[in-house]
Amino acid sequence: MKIQGIDHVEFYVSDPESCANSWQHAYGFAVHGRSEPSGETAAHRSLLLRKGRIQLLITSGPPGSPAGEYVRRHGDGVAVVALRTDDVRAAYAEVVGGPVTGVSPPAYAESAGSRVGMAAVTGFGDVLHSFVERSGPADDFWPGHITMSRPQQADDGLLETIDHLALILPAGELIPTVRLYQQAFGLAEVFEERIEVGGQAMMSKVVQDPAREATFTILEPDVTREPGQIDDFLREHGGAGVQHVALRTTDIRQAVRSAASRGVHFLVTPPEYYRALPGRLGGLSVPVPELAGLHILADRDRWGELFQIFAVSTHERRTFFFELIERRGALTFGTSNIKSLYEALAGERG
């Protein structure tokens, strides 16, 4: 099986119109399509948001439906991470029967030269993975299910693609979950670290496809230490889930200014972080005073530089948020900034 990256991320929410309006205003996403429910699916609603190569599908459902049950247990959140592949049938047959269970068998739909195949399987916790196969010249998301529409606003080009997703797991599930992604989905473990913040600690591993298009940062708490932000997420979310989606930008300074002007609040980084930055990283391509003024974090690896910032969660349970990230050659994930993130989260939660 060949994974070709993340096709889209589907959120199950209680109010898709409100969610879509919020993300359109905050980050400049545009509605490119919506479902036209009928018959048995009349109570289900979906909106398709796009910006750059990012696709977010926002879905609601009645009580007892998969979407309704997810929202009841976890609140609004990421429920399906769709992986692009060159052959849905082959991918589905390859993974089902091992550690992965089939949820929806392969199905195809065609329209105006566009052919799309989809299938769904179990992932981790209550989060599913779907396989998506696309062919043909048309830009149809899911013929017969999502009716495409012309966006009402132009793309400003600031957001490019989904860089990675951060997955939070209960203690003891990190190694089995990494093994699942390796054996079932063909991803490779590319990084691991232990992170200590005050009296709390957590373990992190990163899995990624060979093309670096599908990346998951996976964390679990160290229960021998004090409870911390990972424990807070697991309690408030009601188990394993996606903590944040990182959106890659071509210009993080402009992206932060744009989002802030639209009302997005970002986590505040203390001045001490920026006073120590030159000694830790040396000279950077972005002046430290400018980073400090926007609260942007910086890191460097042997391939290049990385700049990132985390939005304050607007989730009702304060469990999900977006990250903005710009890579100037760097391939890692801001290791030294994870501590800053969790210290800021602790302060933000009071």
pLDDT in tens, 110-138: 988 889 999 999 999 999 999 999 998 77
- pTM for the structure as a whole: 0.94
Q: Which domains does the chain have, with CATH numbers?
A: 3-148 (3.10.180.10), 159-349 (3.10.180.10)
CB 83 within 8 A of CB 132: yes
Structure tokens, 156: 């400003």
DSSP conformation letters of 310-331: EBPP-STTS--EEEEEEEEB--
Kindly report the number of other CB atoms within 10 A of residue 226's CB atom.
13
CB 13 within 8 A of CB 78: no
pLDDT in tens, 209-243: 999 999 999 999 999 888 888 999 999 999 999 99
The whole-angstrom separation of Cα 168 and Cα 104 is: 25
Write down the pLDDT at residue 300. Answer: 92
The whole-angstrom separation of Cα 273 and Cα 287 is: 14
- Sequence-distant (≥ 6) Cβ neighbours of residue 95 within 8 angstroms: 1, 121, 184, 185
CB 264 within 8 A of CB 341: no
* Among 260, 250, 79, residue whose Cα is nearest residue 163: 250
Kindly report the number of other CB atoms within 10 A of residue 285's CB atom.
9
Write down the pLDDT at residue 272. Answer: 87
Asked if the model's pLDDT at residue 41 lies above 60, the reply is no
pLDDT in tens, 295-322: 999 999 999 999 999 999 999 999 999 9
* Among 120, 118, 126, residue whose Cα is nearest residue 145: 118
Structure tokens, 89: 């049938």
Instruction: Tell me the three state secondary structure of residue 41.
Output: helix
pLDDT in tens, 8-30: 999 999 999 999 999 999 999 99
